[in-house]
Amino acid sequence: MISIGKYFRIIFIALILLLFCFHQTALLQITSIEYICSGTDYETPVYIIKTDYKEPMIMIVAGTHGNEKAGIKAAEYLKDNLYIERGTLVIIPKANILACEENVRCFPPEINLNRVYPGNTQGNSVEKLAYEIFNLMKRYDIDLLVDLHESIEFYRKNPKNYGQTIVIDSDDDYLFELSSFLVEEMNKGIIKDGNKYQVLVDPIKGSTAYCAYYQLGIPALTFETCRKLPLSFRIEEQIRFVKIILSKWNMLTVQR
Ligand SMILES: [Zn+2]
């Protein structure tokens, strides 16, 4: 027969083990929310996923263009379902929240958020929004910016559109090697040749990535899926792209 003292000792040990396991699984990361453009129509949430190891610091932006749904859906999925064991992730799923709500590229239609960086605190609402995102990149001192977009056509069919590309704003060795590696990894998961990705070096002045790179010295990538492909596939591709990046930086939790 187990004595009362022994019985309590067993319960005590079990509790300690349970607390230890809980700590290992539940406290690996903490997600907090802050808002940019607070108190205005452009107020939009920023999700910060932190671990005990601050570095690397990666920022993911989606919804710069409101009708490029795959990036937005992917960012929303990632902020709820991603488990990392090191580093910090800063995720903005709906950069231009009004454009996202209206399902339009830009809101207002005549101002493209992706052409007004670094923004202006005294400018129009979109310039103020750009400034707040610019400021966030600075404040978090990020190591990499990933901007998720979509295009209406394949780049290979019409080079005015960027569908199925990774766009970089400079052909510096680091960015070129990184994007080439990512294209290679992404293309391993693509069966049809016409849907494969390619690196495109195209400096787009005023874009989030251009500004991150040239004004803050932050390596930056713009990822573009093609909207001719099914939405569910594009969302998976956007998620896969981010996960490949996080794996390369050893941030992803393998077992959960
Ligand atoms: Zn776009």
168 or 20, which is more confident: 168
CA of 84 to the centre of ligand 1 (A): 27
CA of 197 to the centre of ligand 1 (A): 16
CA of 103 to the centre of ligand 1 (A): 12
Q: What is the mean pLDDT of residues 192-220?
A: 97
CA of 69 to the centre of ligand 1 (A): 10
Please check whether residue 47 is in contact with residue 60, taking contact to mean a CB–CB distance below 8 angstroms.
Answer: no
Q: What is the mean pLDDT of residues 216-234?
A: 98
Read off the pLDDT band of 28 (50, 70, 90). Answer: confident
For the whole model, what pTM was predicted?
0.89
CA of 108 to the centre of ligand 1 (A): 15
CA of 151 to the centre of ligand 1 (A): 7
CA of 152 to the centre of ligand 1 (A): 9
Q: Each residue of 73-130: pLDDT tens digit?
A: 999 999 999 999 999 999 999 999 999 999 999 999 999 999 999 999 999 999 999 9
Residues paired with 84 in a beta bridge? 252
* Third-level CATH fold of 29-248: Aminopeptidase (3.40.630)
Residue type, 186: M
Residues paired with 149 in a beta bridge? 224
Quote the pLDDT of residue 256. Answer: 43
Q: Each residue of 2-26: pLDDT tens digit?
A: 666 666 676 555 655 555 555 445 4
DSSP-assigned letters across all residues of 164-203: TEEEES---HHHHHHHHHHHHHHHHT--SGGG--EEEE--
